[in-house]
Chain A
């Protein structure tokens, strides 16, 4: 069986080692004895027929590139929306998430329309100080859990504040970190199988169980069950579990700034 994965704008949206997600998801699919067909798409005319696509991944990008990506997506906006409405899976990380909201405001103060798929707004952090963090610091660990209780630890380099509207659902709940805007414990956003998280970089490398969950969900929709899949078939799963535990301990013991969201 083949899993078709579209990697959108890999040459543009690769700010924080995001290609690690592509590397991980391919490895996860192969550990399930399937073939991962990775399709790189950098412009609208390279986009394949989305009815044959199982997963789309989009990494974090610089704010200067977000407007170009949004404009390019407009060329196939309806196809993408149909894909999402038909429960197609998309994983979006970092500032790129703003494209899927209603409106986003960049460093230059400009207001830009998003795809209006998620009831969400985003605003560039146009300052060197983040509230409740030391001056000129954008980054920290982020530790959160999905609604099913799956725990994820990664890094967050926050260049935008995200505000969810009433109709929006967060992807997860913060256990530690800045999350969407450090004013509550919402992390990311979810609409059907469109998943946006502030966790940047290769989150699937360090949290392969999240990748396993996504692939299993894809297979379930195809009527394929992988209940007998043993996670340890993935040759770095045990290393990733150790990584998670070590980082959990690190977060527990590190000096935290006043106001940062912590579960305890």
Chain B
């Protein structure tokens, strides 16, 4: 009966997938899996694979999508077959949809690799249904507190997915992630390999009386960093216990002038050289080394890999260039990355901050406290002609954040609005044509629409 129900669910899923493919403008990346899982709750567990198919799960706070994409490209460039889930479809239904797409009608998935991006909150459930051979964890950071509570909650969820025989590929520069390698309990046969990025001394976080460290996931004491490449990500050592960035790791060093990355004796030409990408490259190369994939395949995959759009975009309106830097609400590492990119531009600029109210769930709320986890000192300098804080409600809290970092209130325009037409009008008051907009994805599209209207 169970088998019949699975076949029915799979058939329904494949029909829905077929319909979506031919209907224009329909996204529905998880509909096939959604319908199938409604028919059979443990749908994913019923798929079968070749004996040597490797199941790889990529999880973590940030970088999952790019890392999964890079791994998928690597495997294809190496001439292997793959099943992988679409961008953003990283929960149960997305996983189910990927398998529906790749399987035969009897549920047999004939591929060399299954590479799945899995939301960190769902990985215990997904891994019970489809057992991973490799789990790659990008990082476990402060993220969406309204939903996740605290990083420790997510760490426990990921730990629940790790069995002794799973091979772990871990970010050696992120303490929570690195600590997964210290597996307690049963003798871990799966082992662990690590990756990281060489230090960029210039990226040290401003150390003042308000600077704080982070707590060790093993002993709760303070973590100290030799250098921080991203917020709370860098070569580290706990001040009290043995937890530290392991010495044996695939470490990437960037040569920004030549647009290459060096890993030991190997060198690769790359298209994207920002720090976030360096970590994705490092994780991909660590995976390649574990799987015995050649230098040529790695280089080929780097050449062929294309990023998804929307994280860094440029728009032009009235002679002004608006550099959009995407942040994820309640995720300070993304805001800090946006701040770092902004500060690396030494030209005169206007900075627009739109952190927005958090509207993912009912209840909507006004949480912008995560901005205090970031070092705004990097953008408090004479190159900033004007700061503009916008959003309907939290624009004032954004302004307070800047004032507490040392910006004079006289240098801040507060706009209690979500209307980007008004922002463009405000920007036209200034001679400076270089604008940085730090906001989340939905505001980017609002801005884009206003820019298009402005052009007309």
Query: How far is A7 from B25 in the complex, measured between Cα atoms in Å?
Result: 55
B window 354-369: CB within 8 A of A: 357-358, 361-367, 369
User: Is B39 interfacial (CB-CB < 8 Å)?
Assistant: no
Interface string of B134-158 (1 = CB under 8 A from A): 0000000010011111111000100
Check A239/B409 contact, CB under 8 A, given A22-B210, A107-B156. yes
Interface assignment of B132: CB less than 8 Å from any CB of chain A = no
Is A20 within 8 A of B150, CB to CB?
no
Asked if A222 is an interface residue, CB under 8 A from chain B, the answer is: no
In the bound assembly, the distance between CA atoms of A237 and B366 in angstroms comes to: 19
Q: Known contacts A202-B369, A247-B366; decide if A138 and B215 are in contact (CB<8 Å).
A: no
Asked if B133 is at the interface of the complex by the 8 Å CB criterion, the answer is: no
The answer to whether B197 has its CB under 8 Å from any CB of chain A is no
Are B147 and A240 neighbours in the complex by a CB distance under 8 Å? no
State whether the Cβ of B373 lies closer than 8 Å to any Cβ in chain A: yes
| Nearest CB on B from A35, distance (A) | 13
Q: Which of the residues B210, B217, B332, B357 comes within 8 Å of A64, measured between beta carbons?
A: B217
| Whole-angstrom distance between the Cβ of A41 and the nearest chain B Cβ | 12
A59 to B190, CA, bound (A): 39
| CB proximity to A under 8 Å, residues B186-219 | 209-210, 212-215, 217, 219
- A48-68: CB near B (< 8 Å → 1, else 0) gives 000000000000011111011
In A1-48, the 8 Å CB interface with B consists of 10-12, 14-20, 22-24, 27, 38, 40, 42
- Give the distance in Å from the alpha carbon of A19 to the alpha carbon of B403 in the complex: 14
The one of A63, A68, A137, A236 in contact with B404, judged by C-beta atoms closer than 8 angstroms, is A236
- Which A residues are CB-close (under 8 A) to B409? 235-236, 239
Nearest Cβ on chain B to A49's Cβ, whole angstroms: 20
- Interface hit among A113-121, A186-194, A250-258: A250-258
Once the chains are docked, how many angstroms separate the CA of A200 from the CA of B370?
A: 11
Residue in A closest to B358 when the chains form the complex, CB atoms: A139
Chain A residues, CB < 8 A from B404: 20, 23-24, 27, 205, 236
Q: Which residue of the partner chain, among A10, A61, A140, contacts B365 with CB atoms under 8 Å?
A: A140
**Which chain B residues border A22 with CB–CB below 8 Å?**
210
The listed residue (B150, B367, B396, B399) touching A201 by CB distance below 8 A is B367
Task: Report the minimum CB–CB distance from A6 to chain B (whole Å).
Answer: 13
Q: Which residues of B contact A247 (CB under 8 A)?
A: 366, 393
The answer, yes or no, to whether B314 is at the interface (CB within 8 Å) is no
In the complex, how many angstroms separate the beta carbon of B392 from the nearest chain A beta carbon? Answer: 7
Report whether A236 and B367 are in contact in the complex, using a CB–CB cutoff of 8 Å: no
Number of interface residues of A (CB under 8 A): 58
- From B361, B392, B408, name the one whose CB has the most chain A CB atoms within 10 angstroms: B361
Which residue, of B150, B156, B223, has the highest number of chain A Cβ atoms within 10 A? B150
With contacts A205-B400, A236-B400 taken as known, whether A23 is within 8 angstroms of B210 at the C-beta atoms is yes
Closest partner residue, chain A, to B364 (CB atom): A254
* CB pair A240 B400 closer than 8 Å: yes
Q: Is B346 an interface residue (CB 8 A)?
A: no
Among A64, A140, A205, contact of B220 (Cβ-Cβ < 8 Å): A64
Query: Is A17 touching B372 in the complex (CB atoms < 8 A)?
Result: yes
Total A-B pairs, Cβ < 8 A: 165
Given that A205-B400, A206-B400, A255-B364 are contacting pairs, would A12 and B220 also be in contact in the complex, using a CB cutoff of 8 Å? Answer: yes
The answer to whether the Cβ of A225 comes within 8 Å of any Cβ in the partner chain is: no
Which B residues touch A206, using CB under 8 A? 397, 400
- Min Cβ gap A182→B in Å is 12
- Contact of A168 with B by CB under 8 A: no
Is A136 a contact partner of B363 (Cβ separation < 8 A)?
A: no
| Chain B residue with the shortest CB-CB distance to A21 | B372
Asked whether any CB of chain B lies closer than 8 Å to the CB of A159, the reply is: yes
Inter-chain contact A155/B365, CB cutoff 8 Å:
yes
Contact present for A12 and B215 (CB under 8 Å): yes
Please, which residues of chain A bring their CB within 8 A of the CB of B149?
Answer: 125, 138, 157, 159
A20: B residues at CB distance < 8 A: 369, 372, 401, 404
Task: Point out the residue from A236, A242, A257, A260 that lies within 8 Å of B403, measured CB to CB.
Answer: A236
Cβ of B221 < 8 Å from any Cβ of A?
Answer: yes
CB distance from A210 to the nearest CB of B (A): 14
* B127 CB-CB contact with A under 8 Å: no
Residues of B within 8 Å of A62, CB to CB, are 150-152, 215
Interface centre among B214, B221, B394 (most CB of A within 10 A): B221
**With contact pairs A11-B213, A12-B221 given, residues A243 and B150 touching in the complex (Cβ less than 8 Å):** no
> Which of B150, B209, B362 is A257 in contact with, Cβ under 8 Å?
B362
Whether A137 contacts B396 in the complex (CB less than 8 A), given A62-B152, A157-B145, A205-B404, comes out as no
Q: Does A218 contact B (CB under 8 A)?
A: no
- Is A264 close to B, CB under 8 A? no
With contact pairs A155-B369, A202-B372 given, residues A68 and B219 touching in the complex (Cβ less than 8 Å)? yes
Across-interface contacts of B357 in A (CB, < 8 A): 250
B319 is an interface residue with CB less than 8 A from chain A: no
Say whether A136 contacts B396, CB under 8 Å: no
Find the residue from B150, B209, B369, B400 having the highest chain A CB count within 10 A: B369
Give per-residue flags for B401-420: 1 if the beta carbon is below 8 A from chain A beta carbons, else 0: 10110001100001010000
Q: Is B371 an interface residue (CB 8 A)?
A: yes
> What is the CB-to-nearest-CB distance from B394 to chain A, in angstroms, rounded to a whole number?
8
A70 CB to nearest chain B CB (Å): 11
Q: Are B215 and A65 in contact (CB under 8 A)?
A: yes
Q: Is residue B326 within 8 Å, beta carbon to beta carbon, of the partner chain?
A: no
Chain A residues with CB under 8 Å of B210's CB are 19, 22-23
Q: In the complex, what distance in Å separates the CA atom of A14 from the CA atom of B404?
A: 17
Q: Sorted from nearest, which 5 A-B pairs have the closest CB atoms?
A: A201-B369, A17-B372, A139-B146, A243-B396, A68-B220
12 extra interface residue pairs, beta carbon distance < 8 Å, beyond A11-B215, A138-B149: A14-B212, A15-B142, A20-B404, A40-B209, A62-B150, A133-B363, A139-B146, A141-B365, A159-B149, A205-B404, A242-B416, A246-B416
**Sample (19) of A-B pairs whose CB atoms are under 8 Å apart:** A11-B222, A14-B214, A23-B372, A27-B404, A42-B222, A62-B152, A63-B152, A107-B156, A137-B361, A137-B363, A138-B146, A139-B358, A157-B149, A159-B150, A205-B372, A205-B404, A250-B357, A250-B392, A260-B363
B residues neighboring A (CB under 8 Å):
121, 142, 145-152, 156, 209-210, 212-215, 217, 219-223, 332, 357-358, 361-367, 369-373, 392-397, 399-401, 403-404, 408-409, 414, 416
